[in-house]
Structure formats: structure tokens, C-alpha cells
Amino acid sequence: MQPSRRAFLLGRAAPRTPWQVFCRELGRVCGGDLKPISPDALPPSAAPQARWAPLVGADVRRARALCAEHGVQLALSDTTVSTEGRPVLWVDPVWLNDLVREPGPVPRWRTGPGVTLGALAGVGLRQFAGAPPDRTLAAWLGDRGAATWPTGRGDLSGVHAADVLLADGVADTLGPFGADDGLPLRTAALQQLVPALFRLASGTEAQWCKELPSWPAHYRMDALLPRAPATLNLAHLLHGHAGTLAWVESVVLQMPEGESAPADADAAKGGGPSPRADAGEGRGQPANAGGADGQLPPAQARALDRRVKSNFDPAGVFPELA
């Protein structure tokens, strides 16, 4: 019997590979636009990859569960990361673009990851004036080159809090952690993670990094080592994480007090990294996480980055830094 006649009589053929099973399940339980990347557009012997633009945030939670079940890495588009030959689902948050004014005396806005920097500048967040208007908040927050403030001054970012989906599927909020204005750690996962991060912050590697005027590690662990007038804020740790620590569901932004760091220093010069088909083999070096000559960050900084990653994502649901 010819294949076309068999398909007509028996229905659509069952998926034959684990990747096909994953894509079928994603299409069944999640909405949005799923586009497999042609093998011809990938490097030789690369694992399969696809791009996906979800319509609602809840679908990302379901996709994370499927990724964990099928051994697929969930990666943020517009980032350059290392996927080590594993299948990749590149998630574009362009449709997750809610923008709502938060109640309260301080002007703050809750923004979805797909909100553009132009829209943020349009509501009065002046730190985004002059930034590429079509770039998404998720791409900006994931870009280490945009996190250029001095060591301990994460307050200059204007990030107040972030709702995150952790690698194990737990959703919680990272934000201020002071005695007077701290946000509660609602879940057991965060109640275990945060003390581990504070132990890292008090360790020799983080203390060595703290003495430098420019934070040398990729992950901004100096969020736990603030310098006045900054105060301790766990959300500042996410700036520049490239989607390797968590999926950011929303961010609460405000105008920084005093002078702010450039919102998008690298992208303003010609755009940040794009979600290329070969992005899984990313070789990019964060602009402020190493020497000006492009050398690797110091050994202490690299060791600290590895420890931060292992605490956030021990199972490797998200990709590694490039």
C-alpha cells in the first residue's frame, strides 16, 4: 500500500522520533506559533530546534513541564547561549506584552516579557529613551551588556521586582529583601534557594568580585551585596542572565533614583544577538563580564557563575551561558 493511501485510511502517522513526540505534545496542550527550524539551517549534527511564540503566559508553564519531561532545553529568544547539542525550544515572548500601571504612590509598571522598550519609554520610563524601540523587555533583561552599572548598584536598572518560573516549575517573586520593604518568599523552592545564594554571596569568590569596581562575573550576584544608596533586591540578580536561570513572567519597573545606567548600551550600537538558527552554538561573551580584550572572566568569577547556575537549575532545563 502506498504511504499516501495508508495515511488516508489510517489517519495521520504517529511521530517517529522523540523530537516529533515533543512537538506534537506542545502543539496539543499549548497555543501559539510553533515553527521547527530546518536541519539545513543548523550546524552539522546539531540537535533539532524550534521557535515558538506563546499566546499566554500559562502556556510557557506547560511548555516547561514538557521540556523537562522530554529533555528539551527551554531557551529565551534573542540570547546567545550554549545548548551542548541538546534539543532546543526557542521561546519568543512577543505576544506576552501586557503593560499595567501598579497601584501605589510610586509610579511603577508591571510589564510582560514581550513589551517593547519603546512602549516602556512611552509611559515615562526614561531609562529606555534612546534604546532600540522594538527590542523586548525580556531581551533587554537577558542582555549582560545592558547591565553595566557599578558593582552593588543594581538600583540603577529600575527593576523593582520580577515574577519568575523556576526550573522545577515553581512560580514565585524576586524583589526587595529588606526588613522594611521585603517581599515574602512564598514557596519552599525559593525558601531553599535564597539562603543558598546568600551563602554564595558571603563566600570567597563573591567577596573577591565585590572588591572590583565593575562586577566581573556574568550573573549579577552583587544584587545581594548592595552599595548605598542601593538596597538588597533579588530581582537585580536576573539582569543579564540570558534566560539561563529562570523564565521571567513579568517585571515591575520604576524610574531609577538619580542617574540611571544606559538601558541598552550594546544594542544601541547595532542590536543585540538575534535568535539565529545556530544560536545553540553561541560563542558570545558578555560585554561586562571579562576584560576589554575579550578574554574570559577571572577564575573566581567563572566559579561563582557555575555555582549560581547549579543552584537555580541543577537539572539543566534552561541552557548554559555561552
User: Hey, what long-range contacts does 179-183 have (CB within 8 A, 24 or more apart)?
Assistant: 181/231
Cell numbers that stand for 145 in this block: 551588556
Of 162, 161, 160, 169, nearest to 187 by C-alpha is 169
pLDDT for the residue numbered 13: 58
pLDDT interval class at 269 (50, 70, 90): very low
Count of CB atoms situated within 10 Å of the CB of 17: 10
pLDDT for the residue numbered 145: 93
Averaged over 44-55, what is the pLDDT?
95
> Using CA atoms, how far apart are residues 156 and 258, in angstroms rounded to an integer?
8
pLDDT for the residue numbered 56: 97
- Domains in the chain, ordered, with CATH? 100-271+298-315 (3.30.465.10)
| Average pLDDT across the chain, whole number | 87
**Is there a cis peptide before residue 229, judged by omega within 30 degrees of 0?**
yes
pTM: 0.86
User: How far lies 227's CA from each of 56, 94, 155, 233, in Å?
Assistant: 38, 35, 9, 11
Residues 21-43 pLDDT 10s = 999 999 999 999 999 999 999 98
> Using CA atoms, how far apart are residues 318 and 322, in angstroms rounded to an integer?
12
pLDDT for the residue numbered 8: 47
